[in-house]
Amino acid sequence: MASTPRTTPRTPPVTVRASAKVNLALGVGPRAEDGFHPLATVFEAVGLHDTITAGPRDDDVIAVTVEGPEADLVPTDESNLAYRAAELLRSRCADPHLGVDLHITKSIPVAGGMAGGSADAAGALLACSVLWDIDAGPGDLHDLAAELGSDVPFALIGGVALGRGRGDRLVPVIFRGTHHWVFATSEEGLSTPAVYRRFDELGGGGGDLVPTALIAALTRGDIDAVAGGLGNDLQEAALDLRPELAGVLEAGVEAGAMAGLISGSGPTVAFLVGGEAIGRTVAKTLRTLPQVSSVRGARGPAQGAQLMAGTLEAGS
């Protein structure tokens, strides 16, 4: 990766849109000696988006600002995943004196099991690589993404993909059709490490087996078989920590969803629905539940981190 730093305070800002994910299947093997659990997961990117804008600075500061209804839950210091992405990219590929103003417009639920922080990291990698004029190919960005977190490589590519290892060894899955989703979020997030700890205490799940029937159903575009193949080995642990989510799952399915499951480590509950009309009915029911803080509809599969239209033209 070579860079010819050409950023000046007059370089136009670069905006990237990054998507949330839902795990259609999340098979988790027993905790390994390195503390990680081997995974076989099918990710789907869905149409809930954060935007990350990278603006030039004339000093070497990486500054983060966040806006959106849950902005107060997101750190703006060096623990922000977008900050860490910019810092890693700069340390490996760019002039160490380059700075950036990172502005995140947050729409993906925070600590909701939808990999919002990972989406912001992927977005910051892409936005800063353009702002700083770094000649980084997809393989280079993937390697940096994997260093930042297990879900970050998928946030770069989007679509549907099988993830092995920690979820970072990706193979795209061919899919047909559009999926309609309804997501029910909770006021309070769930910590992913806490869910894995409870998973271990409960004795583990089905193992990191590749869900071949689900992958075949995605490729055929057989929505009934996709609904039947959804599964999450972390669900039992998430429900053990948040028993009130069982009622959300039940209510969504009773209201007409084809299937419901906890998204990743939760607490967001994801419902696959047969279309937009039934999605509205399911959403209406979910909004009446006291344990649900908001309900959002989205389509999938969505794209991964994308430069927003106009960004390149403005920068050329």
Per the omega criterion (within 30 degrees of 0), is the bond before 172 cis?
Answer: no
Q: Is 113 annotated as contributing to ligand binding?
A: yes
The sign one gets for the Cα dihedral 89, 94, 96, 97 is negative
Cβ-closest residue to ligand ATP?
117
Give me 187's structure tokens.
């006021």
* Residue closer to ligand ATP, measured from CB, 217 or 298: 298
Q: Are the C-beta atoms of residues 12 and 185 closer than 8 Å to each other?
A: no
Helices (H) and strands (E) in the chain, counts: 11, 14
Which is catalytic among the residues 21, 50, 168, 233? 21
- Closest by CA to 216, choosing from 179, 246, 178, 173, is 173
Whole-number minimum distance, CB 270 to ligand ATP, in Å?
12
Residue 110 is assigned to a ligand binding site: yes
Q: CA-CA distance, 56 to 41, in Å (whole number)?
A: 37
Shortest spacing between CB 265 and ligand ATP, in angstroms: 5
CA distance 167 to 129: 24
CB of 187 to ligand ATP, least distance (A): 13
Query: Taking the complex as a whole, how short is the minimal distance between the CB of residue 120 and ligand ATP, in angstroms?
Result: 4
CB of 191 to ligand ATP, least distance (A): 8
The answer to the question of whether 118 is labelled as a binding residue is yes
Is residue 112 marked as binding? Answer: yes
Cβ nearer to ligand ATP, comparing 18 with 255: 18
- Is 77 part of the annotated catalytic residue set? no
Residues found near ligand ATP in the complex (CB under 6 A):
74-75, 79-82, 104, 110-118, 120, 151, 189, 192, 264-265
CB contact at 8 A, 177 and 221: yes
- Residue 5 labeled ligand binder: no
Q: Is 258 annotated as a binding residue?
A: no
3-state secondary structure of 97: coil
How far apart are alpha carbons 316 and 301 in whole angstroms? 31
Nearer to ligand ATP, 188 or 224 (CB): 188
Task: Please count the CA atoms within 13 angstroms of the CA of 27 that sit on its side-chain side.
Answer: 16
Q: Which is nearer to ligand ATP, 255 or 267 (CB)?
A: 267
On whether the CB atoms of residues 117 and 81 are closer than 8 A, the answer is: yes
Residue 119 vs 249, nearer CB to ligand ATP? 119
Q: Of residues 50, 106, 120, 151, which has the active-site annotation?
A: 151
How far, in Å, CA of 200 to CA of 179, rounded? Answer: 32
143 is catalytic: no
Cite the active site residues. Answer: 21, 151
Q: Which residues are annotated as a binding site?
A: 109-119
Q: Which residues are annotated as a binding site for ATP?
A: 109-119
